[in-house]
Amino acid sequence: MTRSYEKISPADFSAAEGVDDWRVLWWQAFALFRTKNFVTGLALVNEIGRLAEEADHHPDVNLRYGVLEIRLSTHDTMSLTDADLDLARKISAAARALGVEGDPGAIRTWEFALDALDVDAVRRFWAAVLGYRLVGDTDIADPVGLYPPVYVQQMDAMREGRNRIHIDLGVPHDVAKARVEAALAAGGRLVSDEFAPAWWTLADPEGNEVDVATWQGRG
């Protein structure tokens, strides 16, 4: 029997109790735990595995020495749901039981963005050369989910005087302004804050651009 999910907005997820370790980036919830060593990280992964099997809802996990990153979303709805909120709370409780602390300020995600006149042609090339697969109408993604996706953005005319490749950086909403200020202090330039706090467009000293993005302003 197919499970029925209740969608949750980024604002509702962020305001819920028991998710202080978690931050919403785009349409996923992220947590980063400082496990201090590999054995403790593995113990937490094993407990997450048990909880996920019990809930029949499975997160993505990335275990490194001293660090465990977890990503939660409901692929059936391409959104956050009540299943993600429930599992996030249980994972945080499991981490506390092991004496593991979350580090929400260190959470981030990113993708490459390419400007294109012919989106399909550009997507086919990059999917072939990277070994990626086509996703939706504008994206390509690593089929095993380990490497950053690529977003191909429709443009109306060829642009001159700027790169046509930039990075979309997702950061927690409560660190975004500080990240922007740090980038400006490091020699960057503000290109546009028209859409802030959803995103700021910055450029490095040679004009290479990055969009620093949060869920805020997106619903």
Read off the pTM.
0.88
Which helix (DSSP H) or strand (DSSP E) does residue 28 occupy?
strand 28-34
In this structure, what are the phi and psi dihedrals at residue 213, rounded to the nearest 5 degrees? -120, 150
Strands 165-170, 209-213: parallel, antiparallel or unpaired by DSSP? Answer: parallel
pLDDT of residue 161: 67
Strands 22-25, 165-170: parallel, antiparallel or unpaired by DSSP? Answer: unpaired
pLDDT of residue 124: 95
Q: Cα(117)–Cα(170) distance, rounded to whole angstroms?
A: 25
pLDDT of residue 1: 46
Report the 3 state secondary structure along 119-180. Answer: HHHHHHHHHHHHCCEEECCCEEECCCCCCCCEEEEECCCCCCCCCCEEEEEECCCCCHHHHH
Distances (CA, A) of 211 to 105, 113, 122, 195, 208: 18, 10, 21, 10, 11
pLDDT of residue 160: 74
Strand partners for 63: 68
For the chain of 219 residues, list the mean pLDDT of each consecutive stretch of 10.
81 96 95 97 98 96 97 91 97 98 96 93 94 95 94 86 85 94 95 95 91 81
